[in-house]
Amino acid sequence: MTANVVAQGVFGPGVLYFQSVSTANSTPYNIGSINELSLDIKADVKDLWGQKQFPLLVATGTKSIDVSIKAAKTSGQAINTFLLGGTYTIGTEYDITTTASTAIPGTPYQITPTPPSSGTFNKDLGVISADTGQPYKLVTGTPTTGQYAVSAGVYTFAAADTTDLVKISFAYSFTSGAAGQSLIIPNNDIGTTEVVTLDYKSTLYGATYFLRLFNVVMTGVKTSHKVSDFMMPEYSGKAFANASDQIGIISLATLA
C-alpha cells in the first residue's frame, strides 16, 4: 500500500457495520448508507477548591462514550437488533389500500374488497362517501343510513344507502411477490438487553480511519416523517467495556 503523504483527515460519513453480541454467530450487516456518525466521549471531573479562584486539584471520575447514528436507508435488521429483539417473518409484508369508488349493491348490501397481491384482509381503516368525503360510522349491529359493519373483510351497509358510492380503506398482508419481511414487536422482560459491536471506516487520500466499539447498547431509534423530505432513521447508544475490560479500537494511518 502506498504511504499516505498528507495529514490524516476524515471526510464524509464512511461506512458502518453492526453485529449482535447477544446472539452467538450472528450475521453482520451494513447499517444502510450511513449519513452521520457522532461519538461523544466525556469525562466526569471533580474539582478540589480552597479559598482561591482556581481549584487546587482536578481528578477524573467516570467516563462515557455516547454514539449517534443517522442512516440514509431503513434497515429492519438494525432496528430489530438494536432495540426490539424480535423475529422477522421473511416473505410476508403489510400494506394499506383504498378501493376505487364502489356502489353499495342490493341485498345483502355487502362489499368484499379484494386485497392486492392475493393478500389477506388484516384491519378495517374506514369507509367514506366517494361523493362528499363524509365518513361512514362503524357499528357492531345492523347498519342504518351512514353506517357500516365489517366482519372478516366483508363490509355490510344499510338498505337505505343502496347505490351510494363509497371508498373503503383497509390494511392487508401478502406473501405473493413479497421480497421483504415483517415483525411482530415483542414485549420482552425488563432487563432484556441487546448488545452490538460497531465497526466503522472512513478513507481520505488513501488514509483510513478505523473505529470499533466492542459493546454498545442502543438507547433509542427515532424516525421523522416530513413533507417533502426523506425519512432517515436516527440511532443512539452507549459503549461499555467487554470481558477483557476494553472499550474498542481506533486505528489511524499516521503517527501524528
Domain boundaries, the chain: 15-40+61-86+186-251, 93-174
Say how far apart CA 64 and CA 114 lie, in whole Å: 54
Indicate the burial class of 69 (C-beta count within 10 angstroms; 0-12, 13-18, 19 or more).
buried
* Cell (9 digits) for 191: 432487563
pLDDT at 40: 96
pLDDT at 5: 55
Q: Which CATH class is domain 15-40+61-86+186-251?
A: mainly beta
Of 121, 118, 124, nearest in space to 175 by CA:
118
| Beta strands 195-204 and 29-30, pairing class | unpaired
pLDDT at 3: 54
- Measured CA angle at 153 (ends 148, 158), to 5 deg: 20
pLDDT at 32: 80
Distance separating the N- and C-terminal Cα atoms of the chain: 19
pLDDT at 2: 54
Task: Give me the tens of pLDDT residue by residue for the chain, a chain 256 residues long.
Answer: 555 555 667 787 889 999 999 888 899 999 888 999 999 999 999 999 999 999 999 999 999 999 999 999 988 899 999 999 899 999 999 999 999 999 999 999 999 999 999 999 999 999 999 999 999 999 999 999 999 999 999 999 999 999 999 999 999 999 998 899 999 999 999 999 999 999 999 988 888 899 999 999 999 999 999 999 999 999 999 999 999 999 999 998 887 7
pLDDT at 4: 55
Q: Long-range contacts for 126-129 (Cβ within 8 Å, ≥24 apart)?
A: 126/168, 126/169, 127/155, 127/166, 127/167, 127/168, 127/169, 128/166, 128/167, 128/169, 129/164, 129/165, 129/166, 129/167
Say how far apart CA 90 and CA 111 lie, in whole Å: 31
Say how far apart CA 125 and CA 41 lie, in whole Å: 47
CA 148 to chain centroid:
35
Task: Cell 349493491: give the residue.
Answer: 105
How much is the pTM? 0.81
